[in-house]
Structure 1
Amino acid sequence: MGEPIIQASNLVKNFKGFHAVNGVSLNVEPGTIHALIGANGAGKTTCFNLLSKFLAPTSGAIRFKGRDITRYKPDRVAREGLVRSFQISAVFASLTALENVGMALQRRRGESFDFWNSPKKLAADRTRAEELLDQVGLNGDYHTPAAELPYGRKRALEIATTLGMDPEVMLLDEPTAGMATEDVSRITRLIQTVAAGRTVLMVEHNLGVVSELCDRVTVLARGEILVEGDYDTVARDERVIESYIGGGGHG
C-alpha cells in the first residue's frame, strides 16, 4: 500500500487530567471503509472529534494526504476534502432538501448561500444538487423541508450534503444510529454506493453494519487501541469480546 490518507500518531486528549484518548496511532488507507468501534465510553467519539478537527489534541499529530493538519480548523480540512457528518442530523430544518444541498455546493467554493450568482451558475448548482439527491434516493423530495423528512431520509439528505462538499474522505458519525431495520439496510447500501472512489472512516455501534461494510476495524477500549484488523479477526479476539461484555471503561 502507499501512504495512508489519514495518519494519526500517538494522539492524546486529556480533560482535566483524565485521558479520554491515550496514545492512539491510526492509519487509514485510501479507498477503504474503516470503522472505529468500542463499548460505550471507549474513547471513539473523542478520537473521531480529534481526527475531524472538532477537538485539538493535547499531544500527538494528524496528517492528511501527507500534510500535517494537527492545528487546522474543521472548515479548512473540509475544503481540502476531509468532510464529516454528525450523529445528530445536521441539516437546516426549514430549508428544502434541494436548498440544503445547494448550500453545501456553494460552501465547497467558499461562498455564502445566496441567489445573486449568474443564472448559469445557479442552474449548474441546481442540476448537481438534483443529481446528489437522486444518488441518495431522495428524487421525490426536492422541495420537501428537511424537518418534514422521516428520520432515515433526513440522514440520507445529510449524506447528500456531505457529498456536496466533494469529499475525498467521508467521516460518518454513527450513520445508522436510532434507525429501524429497513432504514439501516437502506443507509448501508447507500454508504456502499457513495464510498466508490472515496475513503470512509466511520464510528458505528451496529456490528452487522460494520461486518458488511468495513475493510478494516479499529477497536478502542479505555482510550487506547485494543486490536485492529479485518472484521473476522477482531470479532474473534477475546479482548474484544471481554470489552463488549464487560464494558469499555471511560472516555
Structure 2
Amino acid sequence: MADNILEARGLSKAFRGFMAVQDVDLSIERGSIHALIGPNGAGKTTCFNLLTKFLQPSAGRIVFEGRDITELKPADVARRGMVRSFQISAVFGHMSALENVRVALARSRGGNFDFWRSERALSVFNDRAHELLYDVGLSDSVDVPAAELSYGRKRALEIATTLALDPKLMLLDEPTAGMTESDVARIVALIRQIRSGRTILMVEHNLSVVSGLSDRITVLARGRVLAEGDYASVSADEAVITAYLGSEHADA
C-alpha cells in the first residue's frame, strides 16, 4: 500500500447552494510531487484552500499523517508540518532576503513575528538562513531588499521562507504564475532540487511545468475529479481533452 501523507475523502464545498467542490477524493503519496490542475472554474483553488484550511468544507474529511485535521485552523495545520507557500505573508519588501528568512526561521522555532527583536537575537539564525538562500539560488542577494528582487527571484525567496518552516508537506499555489520563460525554468529547477525528502502538492497552470515535475496529477472539472494518473495517461484521457478543448491545453 502507498504511504499517503495526505488524504481527502468526499471533500465538498458549497457557496450559497453552488457546489464549487463536490465529493473529491485525493491521496498524496509521501515523497511525491502531485499536481492539481483543471480548466478555469474547475474548483482547484477552492480545493487547495480546503486542504490548507483557509476554507472549511461543507462535507468530507481531511487526514494528514493519519490524523483528522478537518476542523483545524490554518496555523494549527502549519504547526503539524503542512505548510502552504506564501502562508506566512512570505516576504517583507523593506527587509533584506537574509532578514526575511531569519524571521521565518525564528517563527519555526516557536517565536512570533517580533520585528523589534535585537539583531543579536536573530543572528543565531544566520548560518541556516544563508544555507536556505544558497539552496534557492539567492546567495548573491543576501542583503538585497525583497522589494528590489525580480518577480522570479522574489518567488524563490518565498520558497526559502517556506522551507525555513521545515515542512513535511509543501503546498505551492501556482509557483510559476506570471513568470518569464527564464524565471519558469529557474523555479522548475529549484523545485526539482528541493524535492528530495519532501512531499509537494501544487496547483499549476503551466502544463509543461506539470509534465516535467509531477509524479501524479489530479484533474478537476466542475468541482469533481475528472481523471488521475501520470501525465501520459491524463493527457490522453478523452474526458480531459474535452475539458480543455478550446484552451489549447494550456490554461490549467
TM-score class normalised by the smaller sequence: over 0.9
The aligned residue for residue 94 of structure 2 is 94
Distance in 1 (CA, whole Å) between partners of 2:16 and 2:94 is 39
TM-score (norm 1): 0.93
TM-score (norm 2): 0.93
- Code of the residue aligned with 1:179 in structure 2: it is M
Distance in 2 (CA, whole Å) between partners of 1:126 and 1:43 is 41
Structure 2: gaps spanning 5 or more residues: 248-252
Q: After superposing the two structures, state which structure 1 stretch, 69-78 or 19-28, moved more.
A: 69-78
Structure 1: gaps spanning 5 or more residues: none
Distance in 2 (CA, whole Å) between partners of 1:142 and 1:179 is 22
The aligned residue for residue 80 of structure 1 is 80
Contact 1:85-1:172 within 8 A present in 2 as well? yes
> Where do 1:1-251 residues align within 5 Å?
1-86=1-86, 90-112=90-112, 113-114=114-115, 116=117, 119=120, 122-245=122-245
Report how many aligned residue pairs link the two structures: 246
Distance in 1 (CA, whole Å) between partners of 2:75 and 2:173 is 17
Q: Deviations over 1:168-215 (max 9, x none)?
A: 110000000001110100000000111110000000010100000000
Deviation at 1:114, TM superposition (A): 4.7
RMSD: 1.9
Distance in 1 (CA, whole Å) between partners of 2:75 and 2:105 is 14
| CA gap 1:40/1:86 in 2 versus in 1, 3 angstroms | farther
- Code of the residue aligned with 2:184 in structure 1: it is V
Deviation at 1:116, TM superposition (A): 4.5
Aligned to 1:140, the other structure's residue is in SS state: helix
Contact 1:115-1:122 within 8 A present in 2 as well? no
Contact 1:33-1:214 within 8 A present in 2 as well? yes
